[in-house]
Amino acid sequence: MNTGYTIREAAERTGVTVHTLRYYEQIGLLKPIQRTSSGYRYYTDEDLGWVDFLTCLRATGMSIQGMLQFVRLARIGEHTISNRCDLLEEHRVALHQRIQELQKYLGVINTKITTYRKLAQQPID
């Protein structure tokens, strides 16, 4: 098991940029990252797990403020599990609504494609 990753390795493993990793640490989404004696960041598997989860939240539309709220609750302790669950459930509802909206738009696009395909098959006068 690896004991740590450089910032570049962490970026490669998580699929986020080096800039994003620094930004997440700066605003408090990640706890302060361990440093080597020469001052270089040294990411653990746990840190990468957090980055993966944060990436999921962000990719599904959670705001940075919402992510910060979740992280703050997690850092407070186990007694906030119910609050964290509530926050994730609210996010899930919003995500389901967004999926339904996207499905509607996908239907419109599919209809337009079908119409154009039919028109493309007709002889031109």
Task: Report pLDDT digits (tens) over 92-124.
Answer: 999 999 999 999 999 999 999 999 999 989 887
pTM reported for the whole predicted model: 0.84
Q: What is the pLDDT of residues 28-61, one digit of tens each?
A: 999 999 998 899 999 999 999 999 999 999 999 9
Cβ-Cβ contacts under 8 Å for 9 (sequence gap 6 or more): 43
User: According to CATH, what is the number of the domain 7-121?
Assistant: 1.10.1660.10
Q: Determine what percent of the chain is predicted with pLDDT higher than 70.
A: 97
> Please, how many CA atoms are within 13 Å of residue 38, restricted to the half-sphere of its CB?
2
Packed helices 45-59 and 64-76: angle between N→C axes, nearest 10 degrees: 140
Q: Where are the beta strands (DSSP E) in the chain?
A: 34-35, 41-42
The domain limits of the chain are 7-121
